[in-house]
Homo-oligomer: A and B are copies of this chain.
Amino acid sequence: MGGPAALPNVHDGHLRITYEEMHVTIGKAAQRIKSEFDPDIMVAIGGGGFFPARVLRTFLKRVSGADGKRRNIPIQAIGLSLYEEVGEVDGAAGLAQEEKLGKEVIRTQWLDFSTLGNRPLVGRRILIVDEVDDSRTTLGYAVSELKKDIQAQFDKLPEDKKADFPPTKLAIFVVHNKLKEKRASIPDDVAYFAGDNIPDVWVDYPWEQEEYILSRLAYCILLHNEVAAKQKELGL
C-alpha cells in the first residue's frame, strides 16, 4: 500500500463491482428470497460472504416477539478456503487428483454449536451466503457438511420429538454466479438464488481495492467507482 500504482485500465476485461451495485443487487434478490424461502438463520461463508450477509440481513428482517417489531435474523459465520488460496498446506502436493478434489476445501471456522445449542439447525430455514459461485467447490462442500450436521442432530433427537420439527430447509444465495462449468453440484432439495448471472471473467470486488494512487491523491476505491462507470458508458 502507499506506493505509486498504475491507473486502472478500462480495457482490462475486469468486471468492476461497486459497493452500491452490490447493495442494490442484494436488495433486489432479497425480495425473491423473502417470498420464496424466508430464512430464519444465515450461514455466511467468510471472508467473501461477510458483506453480502450483513447487507442481506437488513432486507430480511422478520417480525418476532410480542411487540411485533421487525428484528434481524442471526448470522453464523464459517470460514472456508480453497487449498490454492491458502497456499501453505502441507501434504497436498503429493495427493492424486481424486484425493485432492475431496480435500481441497479447508475449514478455518465452523458453526459454534455451543451457542446454537438451544436453537439447533433441525427444523430451521438455513440460507448459505457467499459473494460468488465460481467453481461451486466451496458451496458444494458447505451444503454437504451442513447436511451431515443436520442429520446427526436429527438422529440424536428422542423418537417422540422428531415429529415436532418442520423439515429443515437449505438454500444458497450468491451475489454473482459465474456462467461456467462447475466442479460440484447442488442437490435438488437446496434452493439456489443468484443476484446476477455473470460471464466467466475476472471480478474486482470493492473490498479488495487496496492501493493509494499517488498521481490522483486518492484511494483506489474511489477510482474503482470511476472506472466502473466509464466501463458502463463504453459498454465494456
Contact = CB atoms under 8 A, between A and B. Distances in A.
A1 B23 contact: no
A79 B71 contact: no
A207 B54 contact: yes
Query: What interface size band does chain A fall in?
Result: 35 or more
B27 A1 contact: yes
A47 B51 contact: no
A114 interface: yes
Contact of A87 (B19, B50, B71, B107): B71
Contact of A222 (B20, B54, B64): B20
Interface of A: 1-2, 19-20, 23-24, 27, 30-31, 44, 46-48, 50-51, 53-55, 57-59, 64-65, 67, 69, 71-72, 74-77, 79, 85-88, 107-112, 114-116, 206-210, 212, 219, 221-222, 225
A148 to B, nearest CB: 15
B65 A87 contact: yes
Contact of A59 (B27, B87, B210): B210
